[in-house]
A = this chain, B = another copy of it.
């Protein structure tokens, strides 16, 4: 359990200032007070005052996504969500939603039985058992990267894949690349369908060649790259977009094993900008998702649904981070 001293050290301020922030004293700024509270939430510190209230309970279900450490994709999303939730006096529980949990208990039953008033769901695949139940649930539910039509208590939040993929292809085209491949994530994923369509749209709009073979599906792990890299290279591909940064790291490794230099011989782009991306050799050009903000927007949207405001979707803008894994096409 964290102490006041931990918070003070993290923020580089005095223990007495932290104490003022936690106790709502009037002689520190509102923004500093909020930073103290956000850090308290992050470190797991609670005051008697915070514990004294009766919070409403929310949960975050996670499936197919790593989130335990700051290096992992889901960590910041959950952190951003929890920070905002704490401000509104919600208590948040993170629950792995394994297929066996989903098959033993219906979603609504689980929520009601455990007293949760709303849920944020991360990493669900199209074939997950609960997915069909979201069409008819009456419980406020926000899905990251999944879209359920016409149910007024369910929302979709995510990053605009169409803009992200288009930014990446525009960047590669400006470097002279015409033969661009996409090693996608899982076939069983709404967001991968979106990115595939975005790739088709952007390649078509620039009269660049593509086919079923230039956009294979894989999975969100480094090992997913190698089976496809050889195939794409044999088709004359000079640049590869990847479904996430992990796949991109695998693609760089596979190219290196084959004696190719990145970016001199082949350019590679990731998706997400997890901490790994900046530390790869070469550092990875990638399409950034702001995961802290995704978490905050996830909370805002869920809070809106709980208050009977039916938001259908909220999309954040991606940002192309250009590093050293992309360069001009090999002459």
Q: Which residues of A contact B (CB under 8 A)?
A: 149-150, 152, 160, 163, 166-167, 290, 293, 296-297, 300, 309-317, 319
Contacts and interface: CB of A to CB of B under 8 A. Distances in A.
A320 to B, nearest CB: 10
Nearest to A301: B314
Given A150-B166, A297-B309, 5 more contacts: A290-B310, A293-B309, A297-B311, A314-B314, A314-B315
B315 A313 contact: yes
22 contacts: A149-B163, A150-B163, A150-B166, A150-B317, A152-B319, A160-B312, A163-B312, A290-B310, A293-B309, A293-B310, A296-B309, A297-B311, A310-B316, A310-B317, A310-B319, A311-B314, A311-B315, A311-B317, A312-B316, A313-B314, A314-B314, A314-B315
A311 B298 CA distance: 12
Contacts of A152: 317, 319
A58 to B, nearest CB: 19
A46 B110 CA distance: 47
> Interface centre among A163, A297, A310, by most B CB within 10 Å?
A310
A290 B310 CA distance: 9
A300 to B, nearest CB: 7
B312 A315 contact: yes
A315 B313 CA distance: 5
A198 to B, nearest CB: 12
Nearest to A163: B150
Contacts of A290: 309-310
A101 to B, nearest CB: 29
A310 B309 CA distance: 21
B316 A309 contact: yes
> Interface centre among A166, A167, A311, by most B CB within 10 Å?
A311
Nearest to A159: B312
A297 B313 CA distance: 12
A297 B163 CA distance: 22
Contacts of A309: 290, 293, 296-297, 316
A152 B163 CA distance: 11
Nearest to A153: B317
A313 B166 CA distance: 17
Contacts of A311: 297, 314-317
